[in-house]
Amino acid sequence: MMRTHRPVLIVAAVLVMGVLVAVVPDRAFAFRCGTGMVDVGDSMADLFKTCGPPTFKQTPRQSGAETWWYNQGSARFITKVVIFGGKIIAIETEDYGIAGPTIPAK
């Protein structure tokens, strides 16, 4: 009788593991600036101290989240950092950056 419940338990365990993997931050999402590094959970002050001012910044009025973009040149990807409540909540990479003059911060 226990064998009929085994597939259900296996599926449930796989689903729980999938959720845990999606929720737990990974060091792969850290952002390196020169010799420093920031990660999800770090403060906005740490980001500014480590990486300096962003190339471009957007602050929507309703959501309360800020998005900072760092263009590190044409040989590296643009990094998008989302900040909410003074803490980094997401770090994403976008297309390659551009050489020469960068987009001024707002």
Q: Which of 93, 64, 66, 62 is nearest to 79 (CA)?
A: 93
CA-to-CA distance for 33 and 60, rounded, in angstroms?
A: 25
**pLDDT tens digits in sequence order for the chain, 106 residues long:** 445 556 655 555 555 454 444 444 444 578 888 889 999 999 999 999 999 999 999 988 788 899 999 998 888 889 999 999 999 999 999 988 888 655 444 3
DSSP line for 21-84: HHHS--GGG-EEETTEEE-TT-BHHHHHHHH-S-SEEE--TTT-EEEEEE---TTSEEEEEEEE
Q: What is the pTM of this model?
A: 0.66
The top-level CATH class assigned to 27-96 is: alpha beta
